[in-house]
Structure 1
């Protein structure tokens, strides 16, 4: 006899007989009549070829084989209870892990902390894992299903759903004390006349596009990934640079930050693959981001 051959109602009946020692009470607990309970036990014994209930004593008790089935029913009951609790925690508390690929300081420092805090305040069991990489690697991880969301620039991936989170812009980095550092704005023609330190952190296409808008190109002498390295090189007089304003650290001694003219904005978004969500936690995170995007201006998010 396979366990699957016995109805779960019969297994529960055996469990209650073992607990109460009374067939009538066990039947009532299972929501059936006493005659129906007697027939169910008889069928189970006939099917298994084993005596499951000892009827020669009061209160009733289970045979050793009946106890095996009752123990199995108890484990089923415990598993069902823990499953219900887990699903309730998913639904109410957002239990689950949300994975986000971020492209660096702009998002990881200025955007994601506030968004994560807003989600976890109301969904205490929702966990967020953030991994940093270059823009293209983040989008690749998203498309391959390695993460639930990625931080992306608006319009750079039309195949993805996006929620605007913040508006950023490009700015120039110039060594303090240089004549150029006294300017309130700086254009592409002026920067093209200096040695240039090109960021490799993800904004390079936008930087080159800004120069190209006015028919100029940067005189690239260095290609640098880390913002701290770019700042150190600018401070040392090795050239000027252009990076995203949100990526500039709060402390940048010896370096002036100058707005560009014309301005080159960029909208930072939360991106996801089109279709269903991998988890309820991911859906909750997306809905929270969407609500914040609708209720606040970009600068407040």
Structure 2
């Protein structure tokens, strides 16, 4: 059947609710109060609804008003439709407020392994309805994923300026030299002493490697023997085993340094190897509520100190 005056008259939420409330209260007067209407207005809305469906929906009795058979059928469907509309409103509100949604993040190995776990734990507690996907890789890959809009946000060490990508520093980091305990007794190492050792470095594209190379080049250091290892954990274990020396984020090595499993050294003439850890996003992207909520959590978590962000290994 086709409704005589079109679907718009039938699908009016107020009229549908009125019909449901008539069945619930047994009177048009009660339904009008429930819907915040005067009774004459409620009666007119119901008459419009009846004209649209071409059948009587409400009949008056000595005790008030009752739904006809057609009214009961329509009321049942109307109740389901109104429930669906309420659910839609709730989900849209939750999406707007960052209570539900999805968030895709790419992070380089240092922030991905040593900063994000604590941040994401806090984020999950604040916004349990948001699903998160996290991809870990070298800094240059993170920048590429953000530039291509493959992820919504990125976290990486210092990177070259990239068209289409906005970068914002959110955490100060420092690289430290690490050596096996007892392998070098002084807290400093000369360039010549460093050149005599095997240097264990991250893969090309790593911000850690790029930062270390930049600082070491400032004092004329040229590595003689380099082993390339694409894992911070493997580098730490290799250094502890006496395979060579390395430069890693203090975030990466601070637990082993505290336990005496690694020793720290600086290179004579080299300033502290500081670098920012960056938050990246596409320059034309509109921040969703979930993204805004994550950035707020990240800022709150890391505002006081690096230690506030870090998960002990």
Task: Provide TM-score, normalisation by structure 2.
Answer: 0.77
Query: Is contact 1:211–1:218 with CA below 8 Å preserved after alignment?
Result: no
| 1:93-242 superposed matches below 5 A | 94-104=99-109, 106-120=110-124, 122-123=126-127, 125=129, 128-154=132-158, 156-157=160-161, 159-178=164-183, 181-200=184-203, 202=206, 203-242=208-247
Cα distance in structure 2, aligned partners of 1:254 and 1:300: 23
Instruction: Determine the C-alpha separation between the residues in 2 that align with 1:66 and 1:52.
Output: 4
The residue aligned with 1:284 is 293
TM-score, normalised via structure 1 length: 0.80
Hey, what's the Cα distance between the residues in 2 that align with 1:199 and 1:30?
67
Question: Structure 1 residue 13: deviation in Å?
Answer: 1.8
Distance apart, 1:224 and its partner CA = 0.9
- Mapped to 1, the partners of 2:287 and 2:98 lie a distance apart of 17
What does residue 266 of structure 1 align with? 275
Q: What is the alpha-carbon distance in structure 1 between the residues aligned to residue 307 and residue 100 of structure 2?
A: 30
1:243 corresponding residue in structure 2: 248
> Partner residue of 2:37?
32
Alpha-carbon contact 1:111-1:166 (below 8 Å) kept: no
Who is 1:296 aligned against? 304
For residue 47 of structure 1, report the CA deviation from its aligned partner: 2.7
Spell out, residue by residue over 1:111-170, the C-alpha distance to the aligned partner (whole angstroms, 9 max, x if none).
224434554555565565443222222223333344332212245346544443332222
Q: Deviations over 1:202-234 (max 9, x none)?
A: 222222222322333222442111223323433
CA separation in 2, counterparts of 1:177 and 1:187?
Answer: 17
Q: Which runs of 5+ in 2 are unaligned?
A: none
Residue 17 of structure 1: CA displacement?
A: 1.6
Cα distance in structure 1, aligned partners of 2:37 and 2:171 = 61
Against the structure 1 CA distance between its residues 262 and 86, is the aligned structure 2 distance closer, same or farther, given a 3 Å change threshold? Answer: same
| Cα-to-partner distance string for 1:185-206 (whole Å, 9 max, x where unaligned) | 2354432333332212822222
8 Å CA contact 2:140–2:159 kept in 1: the answer is no
Contact 1:14 1:70 in 2 (8 A): yes
CA change 1:95–1:188 in 2 (3 A) is farther
Judged with a 3 Å threshold, the aligned counterparts in structure 2 of structure 1 residues 14 and 184 are, in CA distance, closer, same or farther, namely: same
Structure 1 position 257 matched with structure 2 position 264 = yes
What SS does structure 2 have at the residue aligned with 1:215? coil
The answer to whether the 8 A contact 1:166-1:299 is kept is no
Q: Is the 8 A contact 2:112 2:155 kept in 1?
A: no
The aligned length equals 297
Which stretch of structure 1 is more off in the superposition, 59-68 or 264-273?
Answer: 59-68
